[in-house]
Amino acid sequence: MNTKKEELRLMKYLKIEDNKGHYISQTGDWCEIDQISKDDLIYLLNKAISEDFKMDEYLEENVGHKAHQIVYKSIHEKFSGLVENKNVFKDECDSLFKAAIEKYEVADEEE
Amino acid sequence: MKKIDLHIHTVSTISDYHFEFDLSKLKEYVEKLEIDCIAITNHNTFDFDQFNIIRDSLDIVVFPGIEIDLEGGHLLLISDNSEMSEINDFSNKCERVRKLINTKDEYISLEQFKEIFPSLDKYLLIPHYHKKPIIKPEVIEQIETLISAGEVSSYKKFKTCVKDEFSLVPVIFSDTRYFSEMKNFSTQQTWVDLEEITLSGIKSCLTDKQKVFLTKEEGNDFFQATAEGLMLSTGLNVLLGERSTGKTVTLDKIFNTHENIKYIKQFSLLQNDAQKFEELLSRRHSTVSEDYLKEFKKVVDNVKDIDLQQNINDIDKYLNSLLKFASDNEKADAYSNTKLFSENHFGVKDLLGLKKLINATITLRENTEFKTIIDRHINLASLKSLEIDLMKEYIRIEEANLKKEWINNLITKVKDELRFRTSLTVPSDVDFYRIMIENEKMKKFVSIVENIKIEKEIDRKEIRGFKIVATTKPFANASHLKKICNRQISLVNAYDKYLKPYSYLVALKKADIEDTELFKYFIDIEYKTLNKLGFPVSGGERSEFNLLHEINDALKHNMLLIDEPESSFDNIFLKNEVNALLRDISKSIPVIIVTHNSTVGASIKPHYVGCTKREIVDNKIVYKTFSGYPSDKQLKSVDGETIDNFEIMLNCLEAGQDEYEKRRTEAYEILKN
């Protein structure tokens, strides 16, 4: 349990341990990667764009479990792509509907 | 003094509506309006044969001319008519213009124009000046020495040009097409101070503002209002007459003889229905609504195709297929064991932000207006190298993107091939980036909708004490939405979700609301007219407000006609508001009021008075019109007949002298005492 807390502090969400892939579930517990659900993925996605999202690199030799290899590799790649583009994502979000937000907020203030 | 009309159409071209030229109508026009000289000026064409026929059939001077589409504007070019060879040469040149212009949007350039007409000084050139489509000032500048006069479209503009020392000499012409069914003739012609008509004589007159007039004898303070010869002031006119003597007929004639006229018809302003009035206001002020919702529309356009449920399904599909593929691993064969079989697609980087950044850097570097300030903080060299670095980065990412796209295509292809050969299912792919951006968009959309739903005043205009206030308001129920929707569809189900913007948007789409209309269904914009005390207007006040609005609107027109404003208003309002406003407006455009009301007719102090009369001559009804100054003892008709002005005033405004005396002595005096 100590390690879980420690890793949470480091904002690690995907890790490789004992030849298997793991992820942090919504309750904050480490679970095996082949147990991951759609809701877990959505939870992780939100974390990936809002927090310092750390993951263990995928190295085939560290994951002995064949099924874990496939799932971890795929999810790791997907999240890497997203995390890499986090700044682009942030910039894009900041500029989203900027004119509209300002227009309708300003009008609000005037009132 | 000679009356000229140098803008006449006799050929239906691509720039005209279709008409069949009728020579007898043109003949009738020049005779009835007593015109001394015309020019035939068709759009980009000259019909030599037709010109000869017209010239031979009319007893007045006819010049050959053409109206040329030049650099997006119109220019009249009129040639001399004294020598046949000259007209022939002109005709050939016009033919060259005709060949160059094949659609109504085409025009010739100034260069082409000068090349076709190398000796421009032998023609009379009149550009559209204060008349659409204008010849641009920079074009006029380039042929300035040859242009002294410009065509205008209204008496107001004519008078303004005469007074303005920097303006061209104004001319006003009919610009009319002559066909057998036409009912009214234009009365827009120009008088020139000339003894004998020659092209050079006209050219010389058109260099001097003291030699052009709207009337033969009355200078520029009058104009011919009807083809029958009724002259009216370019200021304020009151038209009197007993019932059924042809007042409205006269107004209709003036309306049909001129262009761009504001005509406020009798009773048209009565507004007893509050809802209809609100609809009218909404229509009138639709630009306020459009302006306010412009940005919101862009947001809706952007999010309308986002399907959040589908996004969740995509994640689900990806995960299930991935987990299935992993668990079926034992069944893996040579095909499914290939790396590419379970390979994800590369994410492609969006370059929009970088593009904006590069453009911003270019803007900084190219700006000349604030160059000194920019230079103070950033030197040009580092700005340039920043620009280069950003561009290099752009190229690098773009190159990587292209490679990734190429590889993604390859992965798809290989996966497709492998899929056919194995029993295992290919893990499907999903674009997390797009899904997260769409989530973000939706969050912002929801927050914007919540903001716009807060009731607030978005616009306030004032017209002489009345205030028109536009406020936003959430829709109260499904039937409230009908205000926006013109079709017969039920929006009850959609409205149930009104408080949840995304679900509501989905429901609206389900209800078959057109994509381009979706943004209108989120808030209502209500217009209220408040009176001087700040309260909503009553029925009477609505009519008053309408009149004030319409009169104000008249300034966008060339003339204002009002038929019996008293039919909708009380005397106090007429005297305090309407009279003052009409007098103000008559300083800019001619105003003609038909009235029976003494408050309007007498108190408004018109510049000129007209009076209509119906007589039976030889068992036939004859309508006559008399006119004169309010102080004249007699009003005169076109053919010299006179009537007593005082008697007319009392008859039309006070129901006759006896009644007037009776009212004055019996009713008012008694009340006074």
Q: Report pLDDT for B672.
A: 59
**Chain segment B326-366, per-residue pLDDT in tens:** 888 777 777 877 878 878 788 788 788 889 899 999 999 99
Tell me phi and psi for residue B126, to 5 degrees.
-130, 105
Question: Among all chains, which residue has been given the structure tokens 């492609």?
Answer: B348
Instruction: Average the pLDDT over B450-472 and give the result.
Output: 88
Give the residue from B637, B618, B484, B464 showing the smallest Cα distance to B544.
B464
Does B278 score more than 80 pLDDT?
A: no
Do B346 and A34 count as a contact with CB atoms less than 8 A apart? no
- Please state, for a pLDDT cut of 90, what percent of chain B lies above it: 52
Put simply, whether B427 touches A (Cβ < 8 Å) is yes
Could you tell me which chain A residue has the CA closest to the CA of B351? Answer: A88
Does B658 score more than 70 pLDDT?
A: no
Residue in A34, A77, A97 closest to B323 by CB:
A34
Q: Which chain B residues are within 8 Å of A104, Cβ to Cβ?
A: 295-296, 448, 451-452
Amino acid (one-letter) located at B13: T
Q: Report pLDDT for A9.
A: 52
Q: Report pLDDT for B44.
A: 96
Q: Which chain A residues are within 8 Å of B316, Cβ to Cβ?
A: 38
Q: Which residues contact A22 (CB under 8 A, 6 or more apart)?
A: A14, A15, A16, A30, A31, A32, A33
Euclidean distance between CA atoms B155 and B133, whole angstroms: 18
Q: Answer left, alpha or beta for residue B44, where phi above 0 means left and psi between -120 and 50 means alpha.
A: left
Structure tokens at B608: 């000129």
**What is the full DSSP assignment across A89-103?**
HHHHHHHTTHHHHHH
- CB burial string B426-445: b at 16+ within 10 A, e below: bbebbbbbebbbbbbbbebb
Work out the mean pLDDT of chain A and round it to a whole number: 84
Q: Helices marked H in B496-568 — which ranges?
A: 501-510, 539-553
Work out the mean pLDDT of chain B and round it to a whole number: 88
**Chain segment B12-50, per-residue pLDDT in tens:** 998 888 999 999 999 999 999 999 999 999 999 999 999
Give this complex's ipTM: 0.85
Mutating which of B440, B441, B455 best tests the A interface, going by the most A Cβ atoms within 10 A? B440
Cα radius of gyration (chain B): 36
Contact B563, B266 (CB under 8 A): yes
Which long-range contacts link B442-445 to residues 24+ away (Cβ below 8 Å)?
Answer: B442/B303, B442/B306, B442/B308, B442/B502, B444/A96, B444/A97, B444/A101, B444/B299, B445/A97, B445/B299, B445/B300, B445/B303, B445/B501, B445/B502, B445/B505
Euclidean distance between CA atoms B340 and B344, whole angstroms: 8
Cis peptide before B133 (omega within 30 of 0): yes
Q: Which chain B residues are within 8 Å of A37, Cβ to Cβ?
A: 319
- Please state, for a pLDDT cut of 70, what percent of chain A lies above it: 86
Contact B123, B78 (CB under 8 A): yes
Parallel, antiparallel or unpaired: strands B212-213 and B222-224? unpaired
Q: How many CB pairs under 8 A join A and B?
A: 113
Question: Among all chains, which residue has been given the structure tokens 């380039």?
Answer: B142
Euclidean distance between CA atoms B459 and B470, whole angstroms: 5
Residues 561-590 of B with CB under 8 A from A: none
Q: Helices marked H in B239-347 — which ranges?
A: 247-257, 274-284, 286-303, 308-327
Parallel, antiparallel or unpaired: strands B559-563 and B261-264? parallel
pLDDT band at B318 (very low <50, low <70, confident <90, very high): very high
Tell me phi and psi for residue B518, to 5 degrees.
-50, -40
Exposed, middle or buried: residue B368 (CB in 10 Å: 0-12, 13-18, 19+)? exposed
Tell me phi and psi for residue B291, to 5 degrees.
-60, -45
Q: What is the dihedral of CA B544, B546, B551, B556, to 10 degrees?
A: 160
Is the torsion defined by CA of B118, B124, B130, B132 positive or negative? Answer: negative
Exposed, middle or buried: residue B479 (CB in 10 Å: 0-12, 13-18, 19+)? exposed
Superfamily classification of domain B2-218: Metal-dependent hydrolases (3.20.20.140)
Instruction: Average the pLDDT over A48-55 and give the result.
Output: 90
pTM score of the predicted model: 0.63
Helix (H, G, I), strand (E, B) or coil at B89: helix
Contact B23, B8 (CB under 8 A): no
Q: Report pLDDT for B465.
A: 80
**Chain segment B546-582, per-residue pLDDT in tens:** 887 888 788 889 999 998 887 767 777 777 777 888 8
Give the residue from B368, B366, B398, B369 showing the smallest Cα distance to B384.
B366
Residues 89-108 of A with CB under 8 A from B: 89, 91-93, 95-97, 99-101, 103-105, 107-108
Amino acid (one-letter) located at B55: R
Q: Report pLDDT for A18.
A: 92
Q: Which chain B residues are within 8 Å of A67, Cβ to Cβ?
A: 326-327, 329
Parallel, antiparallel or unpaired: strands B620-628 and B634-637? antiparallel
Euclidean distance between CA atoms B143 and B119, whole angstroms: 12
Q: Which residues contact B224 (CB under 8 A, 6 or more apart)?
A: B33, B187, B189, B214, B215, B230, B231
Euclidean distance between CA atoms B388 and B69, whole angstroms: 46
Q: Report pLDDT for A5.
A: 55
Q: Which chain B residues are within 8 Å of A48, Cβ to Cβ?
A: 432
- Give chain A's end-to-end CA distance (angstroms, integer): 53
Q: Which residue has the higher pLDDT, B207 or B353?
A: B207
Q: Report pLDDT for A111.
A: 40
DSSP at B606: -
Residue ranges of domains in chain B:
2-218, 247-260+557-672, 274-304+449-530, 333-423
pLDDT band at A108 (very low <50, low <70, confident <90, very high): very low
Residue in A96, A99, A107 closest to B440 by CB:
A96
Q: Report pLDDT for A23.
A: 94
Exposed, middle or buried: residue B167 (CB in 10 Å: 0-12, 13-18, 19+)? middle
Measured CA distances, B282 to B277, B286, B288, B625 (Å):
9, 6, 9, 41
Q: Which residue has the higher pLDDT, B190 or B661?
A: B190
Residues 60-89 of A with CB under 8 A from B: 66-71, 73-75, 77-79, 81-82, 84-85, 88-89
**What is the full DSSP assignment across B511-524?**
TT--GGGGGGGSEE
Q: Which residues contact B37 (CB under 8 A, 6 or more apart)?
A: B2, B3, B4, B5, B6, B60, B61, B62, B63, B197, B202
**What is the full DSSP assignment across B9-43?**
E-S--TTS----B-HHHHHHHHHHTT-SEEEEEEE
Cα radius of gyration (chain A): 18
Measured CA distances, B178 to B155, B183, B260 (Å):
23, 10, 19
Measured CA distances, B37 to B82, B176, B180, B199 (Å):
14, 15, 22, 10
Q: Report pLDDT for B288.
A: 86
Amino acid (one-letter) located at B27: K
Put simply, whether B357 touches A (Cβ < 8 Å) is no
Alpha-carbon gap: B473 to the closest alpha carbon of chain A (Å): 13
